[in-house]
Structure 1
Amino acid sequence: MDLCVTIKGVSFLLQTGVGILGNVMVLLAYAHIIYTEPKVLPVDLILCHLAFVNLMLLLTRGVPQTMTVFGLTDLLNDPGCKVLIYAYRIGRALSICITCILSVFQAVTVAPAGPRLSRLKPALPSLVLPTIVGLWLLNMAICVAAPLFSMAPRNGTVPAFTLNLRFCHVDFRDSLSYVINGVVFSVRDFAFVGLMVGSSGYILLLLHRHSRLVREMRRSKGAGAETRAAKIVITLVVLYVLFFGIDNAIWIYMLTVSKVSPVVTDMKVFFSSCYASLSPYFIISSNKKVKAKIACAAVRDQPSVDNQESSDK
Structure 2
Amino acid sequence: METSELLLGMTFFSLTIIGILGNFTLLCHYIYIYLTRYSLRPTDWVLMHLIVANILTVVCKGVPKTVSSLGFKDIFNDIGCKLVPSIHRVSTGACIGSTSFLSVFQAMSIRSRNARYTEIKVRIHKCICCSVYLNWLIYLFISSICFVHLRANHGNESTTNLKSIKFCYAVRHDPTSDILYAILLSGTDMVLLGLMLWASGSMVLTLYRHKQMMKYMSRTKVSSRSSPESRATKTILILVSTFVSPYTISSLCQAFVSLMYNPSWSLVNMAEMSSLFFPTVCPFLLLSQDSRASSYFKRNRHFPKPFDQEQS
TM-score norm. by structure 2 comes to 0.85
Unaligned segments of structure 2, at least 5 residues:
303-312
Contact 1:161 1:174 in 2 (8 A): no
Query: Identical aligned pairs, as a percentage?
Result: 25
From 225, 228, 231, give the equivalent of 1:228.
Answer: 231
Change (3 A) 1:153 1:174: farther
From 254, 264, 270, give the equivalent of 2:273.
Answer: 270
Contact 2:175 2:259 in 1 (8 A): no
Task: Tell me what 1:240 maps to.
Answer: 243
> Structure 2: how far apart are the matches of 1:20 and 1:295?
24
Q: Is residue 219 of structure 1 aligned with residue 223 of structure 2?
A: yes
Task: Tell me what 1:82 maps to.
Answer: 82
> Structure 1: how far apart are the matches of 2:256 and 2:299?
47
Task: Tell me what 1:162 maps to.
Answer: 163
Task: Tell me what 2:145 maps to.
Answer: 145
Change (3 A) 1:85 1:284: same
Deviations 1:80-132 (A, max 9, x none): 22111111110011111111001001101111458x96752232333343222
Change (3 A) 1:117 1:226: same
- State the AA in 1 paired with 2:236: V
Within-5 A mapping of 1:9-24: 9-24=9-24
Change (3 A) 1:226 1:13: same
Q: Is residue 182 of structure 1 aligned with residue 150 of structure 2?
A: no
Unaligned segments of structure 1, at least 5 residues:
301-313
> Structure 2: how far apart are the matches of 1:61 and 1:270?
9
From 251, 254, 257, give the equivalent of 1:254.
Answer: 257
> Structure 1: how far apart are the matches of 2:129 and 2:255?
34
Q: Which moved more, 1:210-219 or 1:17-26?
A: 210-219
> Structure 1: how far apart are the matches of 2:239 and 2:245?
10
Deviations 1:203-244 (A, max 9, x none): 0110111234797997345x4332221111101111111112
Contact 2:93 2:139 in 1 (8 A): yes
CA shift at 1:147, angstroms? Answer: 1.4
- State the AA in 2 paired with 1:276: P
SS at match of 2:105: helix
CA shift at 1:153, angstroms? Answer: 2.1
Contact 2:93 2:135 in 1 (8 A): no
Task: Tell me what 1:45 maps to.
Answer: 45
Change (3 A) 1:216 1:140: farther
Q: Which moved more, 1:10-19 or 1:91-100?
A: 10-19
